[in-house]
Copies of this chain bind each other. A is one copy, B any other.
Amino acid sequence: MHSIPVIAVDAMGGDIGPSVNVPGAIKAARTFGIKVILVGNEKLINAELDRLPLKGVAYEVVHTDEVAGMDEKPSDILRRKKNASIQIACRLVKEGKADGIVSAGNSGATVACGMFIIGRIAGVERPALASVMPTEKHPIVLLDVGANVDCKPQHLFQFGLMANAFAKDLLEYDSPRIGLLSIGEEEGKGNTQVKEAYDLFKLANDINFLGNVEGRDLFTGQVDVVVCDGFVGNVALKLSEGLSTSMGRLLKRQLMSSTIAKIGTLLAKKAFKKFAKIVDYAEYGGAPVLGLKGIAIVCHGASNDKAIFNAVKMASTFVRKKTNERLVEAISANEELTSFGRAIKN
């Protein structure tokens, strides 16, 4: 670790590119007193830097011409695009020049480069992609949201251990309440791997396992961490995004349908704005890949500078609080249970 956290930012990533990545990263560097390394086309990066106040800001530019496309296969990017900005950013972590990376580029490629270039922590079977989601009361951590589609019970178990460390440090929950996503609250409900993961969680050390939770419990704030496999989690995450967008659109259509309703909407404008803020995913910046020898934050392709700012903030807090040390402790304190899970035929 460096004297201050150093976060490599994929300046080329995302639908918008340097014009959101550079200002978001620089603002975070200034606000939190960290260093950012901007990786990408230096001409484009410098054009953005020229517009920003840079006095006292710790930053560096690492040039590359190669860019990973949003629609390219992650394995192709990993194998063939050795100089893509995302690969270079991850190599900076591997070589000890940075502590973590942030990218709004091809998510699959970010996860893959995180796993294979930064590498996983010894003892972690599968790094997981976590998402910080807004709920009625406070944000929760949902994981895995897409890194591992076919999971064994011990994978789900380790996801819970890793998210526990993350929720403690990043969301500042004293004793995060862990729920296992299933189709009924009672023990014994669920599919094969969930039922077996339940047993591991029940025996685990130092975690506050509340049992199964159902889809409807996600947004009520009764748990702080929700564990599921990457298939279910990805469906749940995208469904939540899709449903809130659709509901917003439907409501807008109704409210615009008559003059009286339009006037009413105008009067209630401030309330609508506050509501939109609560359900705004940009508040949390991005999804961390947990279990790496460092940290990688995957941002939405449509991220704005606020999302990049918040993602860099998340990465630097993760580094500053040494969350990986806590994560390693939890993984090793429960090593025997994990091997037990591995030993069950599944």
Distance in Å from the Cβ of A252 to the closest Cβ of chain B? 10
* A220/B243 contact (C-beta < 8 A), A191-B231, A238-B215 known: no
Contacts of A269 on B, CB cut-off 8 Å?
Answer: 264
Distance in Å from the Cβ of A65 to the closest Cβ of chain B? 27
User: Number of copies of this chain in the oligomer?
Assistant: 2
Complex contact A267–B261 (CB within 8 A):
yes
Complex contact A214–B238 (CB within 8 A):
yes
CB-nearest residue of chain B to A240: B243
Residues of A in contact, count (CB < 8 Å): 61
Complex contact A235–B183 (CB within 8 A):
yes
Distance in Å from the Cβ of A233 to the closest Cβ of chain B? 9
Contacts of A265 on B, CB cut-off 8 Å?
Answer: 264, 268
Among A217, A220, A271, A279, the one with the most B-chain Cβ atoms within 10 Å of its Cβ is: A271
Contacts of A245 on B, CB cut-off 8 Å?
Answer: 216, 219
Encoded as 1 (CB less than 8 Å from any B CB) or 0, chain A from 264 to 303 comes to 1111111110110011000000000000000000000000
Binding site for B on A (CB under 8 A): 135-136, 146, 149-150, 181-183, 190-192, 194, 214-220, 228-232, 234-247, 249-251, 254-255, 257-258, 260-261, 263-272, 274-275, 278-279
- Besides A243-B243, A261-B268, A263-B264, 17 more A-B contacts (Cβ < 8 Å) are A136-B249, A149-B191, A150-B191, A182-B231, A183-B230, A191-B231, A215-B238, A216-B238, A216-B245, A218-B239, A218-B242, A219-B246, A228-B235, A244-B247, A251-B275, A264-B271, A268-B268
**Between-chain CB contacts (< 8 Å), 29 pairs:** A136-B249, A136-B250, A149-B183, A149-B190, A150-B191, A215-B235, A215-B237, A215-B239, A215-B242, A216-B242, A218-B239, A218-B243, A219-B243, A220-B246, A232-B232, A235-B236, A239-B240, A243-B244, A250-B278, A251-B272, A257-B274, A258-B271, A260-B270, A261-B270, A261-B271, A264-B265, A264-B266, A264-B269, A264-B271
